[in-house]
Structure 1
Amino acid sequence: MNLAWPIVTAAFLASLVEAVEALTIVLAVVTIRGWRPAAIGLFAGLCALSGLVVLFGPALDQIPVHLLQFIIGVLLLLFGLRWLRKAILRAAGLIALHDEEAAFAAETSQLQGLVDRSEARLDRIASLTAFKAVLLEGLEVIFVVIALGTGKGMFASAAAGAIAACSLVLLLGLAIHRPLARVPENALKFIVGVLLSAFGVFWTGEALGIAWPGSDFAIIAFALVFFGAGCVAVVLARRPDQRASA
């Protein structure tokens, strides 16, 4: 089984979600303070992320392959289960769906509440807001790329998926100047949670010396198990009145 396309897909979908969230905040900065503070924060965030990759990337080569695969597998599983859990709770109606339009409005309102400050300070706050958004969401993208790409030597494939997603979101954001509210974020998080959890189980087992039946095809089986379990969990987590209406 060629793992390139599953890894590209998982990296693309995970990065798509993070890029949309970062773009929402950056566009809120653009709306209130213009492109200059937003561009400064965006550029500073990208530089910080690049510095972290250059600084810590070579250290991965010093870690034994099986130990690295085990660590990444466990982290990937925990990361995927976190996304899957949130997606299940949102689909079940136990927590509110993430609304990019609402996030955009909240961020805009927060920045507008600072109008009594000096122009220079407002620009610094706006740039810092954009910087924080790019850095925090970018760190999650980097983690996903490293976790998906390092275990099987598919770093280039994972990076390609992430770059494609971030580029797509950036181009759409520049074109429409609004948050991408129509992106079905919870559905994407559900799928990404399933994929990351499946990869996590597979790579953790391989690091422990488990010979999975079907070799790489076992990832598909794990994904189906997590998907089925997630769907069942959504139904069970719904309140009785929600189940009846569904």
Structure 2
Amino acid sequence: MGNPALFIALFIAVFLACAVEAVEALTIVLAAGIARGWRSALCGLLAGLLTLTVTVAALGPAVSALPLNALRLVVGGFLLIFGLQWLRKAILRASGHKALHNETAAFAATLDAAQHAPARRASLVPDGYGIALAFKGIVLEGMEVVFIVLTFGSNQHNMSLAVVAALAAVLTVAAAGVTVRAPLSRVPENSMKFVVGIMLTTFGMFWGAEGAGARWPGSDLALLILIPAVGLYALFLVATFRRRVPRENAVGATSEEPEGTHA
């Protein structure tokens, strides 16, 4: 990939998307460790990372072996669907039609459920519930990271860039989590999801059209027009929908629902 603009856009999209998933995975692992013991949480964490590693090793070569046009058409379609889900919910949050995601509230809800769950011990397992909780959090959020890395990396034949961006995001979040030992509630996750929705939607449009045989004016430089255009349209929708929200229902509520694949 020789275009610096596409290089930077690709890195930012992968980094932000993976950072969002890493923040949510960290919240679940923290709750598992505090409520059920760090030995169980770390066992689930390691098992989840092993599962993701095997998944990448199995799927990576298969995805890369697809013809480029077919790959871009299929992956572009998936990215467009995936990105529009993120963007739709981000627009609804920003306009007051959906509660903002609150990582502190999500942590409290997960912690409460973990503290009240019965102990599940076995000879070689310190606490089955704690392991399962951490494992589920790592695998569910991690699968989205795997999807993002494989799709972006294989489409541009620059898997190393996608992997570096994902690792940078995960290590940054992990380091912050170890430092504060609390959910990263100060991370502007709602704003990040808005940006990620714009980026995923744009790349889905860009690659999907290329896979279908279209040629963008200026090739990769078209992204410099597409990304701001999608962003401005999203902001226009926010402003339009915000006028239709009664004052008492405006943004201010918080959400405790796990986001997962639903952004």
TM-score (norm 2): 0.88
Tell me the residue number matched to 1:23: 26
TM-score (norm 1): 0.94
Tell me the residue number matched to 1:14: 17
Q: Residue 29 of structure 1 contacts residue 38 of structure 1 at CA under 8 Å; is this kept in 2?
A: yes
RMSD of equivalent CA atoms: 1.8
1:146 equivalent among 145, 150, 164 = 150
Q: Secondary structure at the match of 2:112?
A: helix
Tell me the residue number matched to 2:203: 199
Q: Residue 76 of structure 1 contacts residue 197 of structure 1 at CA under 8 Å; is this kept in 2?
A: yes
Of all paired residues, the percent bearing the same amino acid is 44
The one-character-per-residue Cα deviations of 1:136-182 (angstroms, maximum 9, x if unpaired) are 00000111111111111121111111100000111111111100001
Uncovered stretches (5+) of structure 2, i.e. residues with no partner: 252-263
Query: Aligned ranges for residues 9-88 of structure 1 at < 5 Å?
Result: 9-88=12-91
Q: Residue 121 of structure 2 contacts residue 127 of structure 2 at CA under 8 Å; is this kept in 1?
A: yes
Q: Residue 10 of structure 1 contacts residue 192 of structure 1 at CA under 8 Å; is this kept in 2?
A: yes
Tell me the residue number matched to 2:113: 110
Q: Which moved more, 1:14-23 or 1:72-81?
A: 72-81
Q: Secondary structure at the match of 1:134?
A: helix
Uncovered stretches (5+) of structure 1, i.e. residues with no partner: none
The one-character-per-residue Cα deviations of 1:39-72 (angstroms, maximum 9, x if unpaired) are 0000000000011111222212332111011111
| Alignment length (residue pairs) | 244
CA shift for structure 1 position 84: 0.5
Report the Cα distance in structure 1 between the residues aligned to 2:61 and 2:158, rounded to whole angstroms: 16
Report the Cα distance in structure 1 between the residues aligned to 2:138 and 2:120, rounded to whole angstroms: 24
Report the Cα distance in structure 2 between the residues aligned to 1:167 and 1:95, rounded to whole angstroms: 30
Report the Cα distance in structure 2 between the residues aligned to 1:61 and 1:146, rounded to whole angstroms: 8
Q: Residue 22 of structure 2 contacts residue 173 of structure 2 at CA under 8 Å; is this kept in 1?
A: yes
Q: Please state which structure has a larger fraction of its residues in helix.
A: 1
Q: Residue 15 of structure 2 contacts residue 169 of structure 2 at CA under 8 Å; is this kept in 1?
A: yes
Q: Secondary structure at the match of 1:179?
A: coil
Query: Aligned ranges for residues 212-223 of structure 1 at < 5 Å?
Result: 212-223=216-227
Q: Residue 83 of structure 1 contacts residue 189 of structure 1 at CA under 8 Å; is this kept in 2?
A: yes
Q: Residue 12 of structure 1 contacts residue 165 of structure 1 at CA under 8 Å; is this kept in 2?
A: yes
Tell me the residue number matched to 2:193: 189
